[in-house]
Amino acid sequence: MFVRNAVSVIAMTILLSISAYAVDAEIIYIEVVGESEFEVFYHRVLSNAFGAAVGGVIGAGIQSGIEASKDQEKTNQLRPLVDKEGWKVRFLDTLNNKLQAEGFEAVWIEDKKDIGDGVILKIYPESYGFKIVDTTTQLVSAYIDFEASFWRGNSKKPKEQEKEAYYITNRNQYPFYKLLEEDSTINSDLEEVLEKAANRLANKIIYGLKE
């Protein structure tokens, strides 16, 4: 009898805890607008506008096209080595887990009709990959570039806020060729910067809503 009563008490406690969470949790509707592209920014960063100095606007356009083409070659070199699910798993999952840990109920939406009253978060992916962070040493670092806006609103009278730009880089820096080696940390560096960006966005939302 004692054991049965003890089990009943534990079960009731769990149910009450779940109910309390359900009541206290604030819904945050998350919409991802577009997709994040993997890119390498190398020659475009090193550009010294030589084309513009020699040939004006047309020269600058030609020079820009050449540099973009060279960067595309580097992107193609790295892309087969990159975890294709990295952006989704590391950025979006980290964001989801962080928000839920802070008492939000994350609802991922694909249709605006699914949005109700609560916090609305829109994420506008740009790109992620590797970029020169020091033009003197020509060292590259993992980065992510995106925009986001969030607000507490009413689904019937939305008041969308202006987008805020986010650009985060990894602390590790390498010569480009190091990324192509067998023991390359290409994916772990990308994972680290994606998680860092997700946590920064989550903290921005958590503390921003308290203001």
Quick: pLDDT tens for 146-186.
999 999 876 556 666 789 999 999 999 999 999 999 999 99
Q: How many CB atoms lie within 10 A of CB 198?
A: 23
CATH topology for the 26-40+82-208 domain: Double Stranded RNA Binding Domain (3.30.160)
Quick: pLDDT tens for 28-48.
999 999 999 999 999 999 885
Structure tokens at 49: 């506008």
Give the helix/strand (H/E) hosting 37.
Answer: strand 37-41
Quick: pLDDT tens for 40-84.
999 999 885 444 444 554 455 556 678 888 999 999 999 999 988
Going from N- to C-terminal start, the domains of the chain cover 26-40+82-208
Please give the Cα distance from 68 to 56 (Å, whole number): 18
Please give the Cα distance from 144 to 126 (Å, whole number): 8
